Structure 1
Amino acid sequence: MSDHLVELAKSHLTNIPVSLISQGAESLIFTTTTHPYMETSDEGQQYIVKFRPPKKYRHPQLDAQLTKRRTLAEARLLQRLYGADGISVPSIIAVDARNGILWLEYIGQQIENGVSSLKNYLWLEDSKADYESLLRAVGDMIARLHQMGIVHGDLTTSNVMLQKHGSQWAPCLIDFGLGFTSDLVEDKAVDLYVLERAILSTHPVHSDNYNSWLMEGYKKGYGKDQGKFKQVMKRYEDVRMRGRKRSMLG
């Protein structure tokens, strides 16, 4: 972890206690129990603070423009998706685009092997009974996302969080930092291929079943518009073929 980046984030969050939970190539993710506007904090309530640090290899002025643009773009995607039929994403609490900060609803809870991401949940041996229905639900949600003309850009099992609704787990899509709007069949096919490869990488033994259930849900999500579903599937097979050729060539 880069301590100087953590300190930089904290300098933009005056008097806000935060705890770093993950760091990726594009952002640092913190949790906090402090609301950005309410004076009192509820220790039982958590929020996510996502910080895009500056890139030293870019010109400072260009970097500031890109950071602001990408932060606002992610916020707009989440705002558009929040409350959409059949789609679950975190709600936005606050946006500080100038400093590259998004304040979001905390999604998930602790399970036996960590936070309740789809990745961790699929590793739990005693939960296999609902894997099929859960993966179908994820596929259905991705189809609805694509029908709205939105591509996630980084579909992995770590970016699908699970929330308990009664006794059932329900998926929620997170981290739209690489997301964008597109109606191109190619972009949707690549989105699916990225998820397929992620599942193959993290759950190789059962990946065929998992991806099959995802695609069944994806088909269902298109409802009566099966023509568009078939277009995406045709391009998806093309993308898979290109991926296999690249793997063979090294």
Structure 2
Amino acid sequence: MSDGTPAPSASHPRPLRGERRTGKIDLSSIDWPRNEFNVGMLSLSADPVTGAETFALNCPDNFVYPEDAHFYDCEEELYQFSGEFHHDEIDPYYKDTYVYRPIGTVYGHGEGSHDGGIIIASLARERRRFHFQEHPEPWTGHYLVDQLWNPRPVSPAIVNAQDLPWVNDEVNASCQVKLLRGAPGKLSQFSGVSDHSPWAAESAFILRVPAGYSGSFPSWPGFVLELLVIAGQATIDGDSWHRGCYGFDPQLGECTVQEPLEIYVRAFADY
């Protein structure tokens, strides 16, 4: 499932990026500001230079989002942390669903949440939304607006992590991963960082660190990690990490795992 090549290199595009490091945020204990639709919306990490951001939406039951079909001119990724959300009724997202959208993916045809839940959304550059009214009817699901927006051979994808097998990680011998997109420790051949998407991830995966593990927190040389704990319990640098804890490049050190730790990870080329 790897579409990557080992290790970042000088030839890889290096658009300007700003500082984005964020320490631990616990979704279960922090106050959630409300947006204009009275939905909890929490900014988790943001780059003031490019406008790239990861944020969380905490939707109530029977929420309807009044939005028409649209697309962004940067890469976008979503992870359904809990409950359910949908951008259309064809492919609703349930717990542990991962969504990848290349530049110019048109979506949005009856958005909202029937059951409520938390979804994590990440944009690789500032939030510039383009509405697209001339979409096909009947609606058949998300699609690319034009190959001119996306010359690379990649397509939108929806994957539920529960359907994927665990495989041994090539770098961290005691750990396993579920490959959502790309491969840990490798650059993406067809997606990833670009002038349009300076904070596009090279890979996305679920990391599992076994109970009883004690040592340095797993890492992949040359990559910055965005982390969201989805299961388990660990003490990292003397601090408790559990379901709902988030960090962007938190530079974690000594890690002791009490319960098998599962983490949604996005890996970015470090430069």
TM-score by length of 1: 0.25
Larger radius of gyration, structure 1 or 2? Answer: 1
- Greater relative contact order (Cα 8 A, min sep 6): structure 1 or 2? 2
TM-score by length of 2: 0.24
Higher helix share: 1
Higher strand share: 2
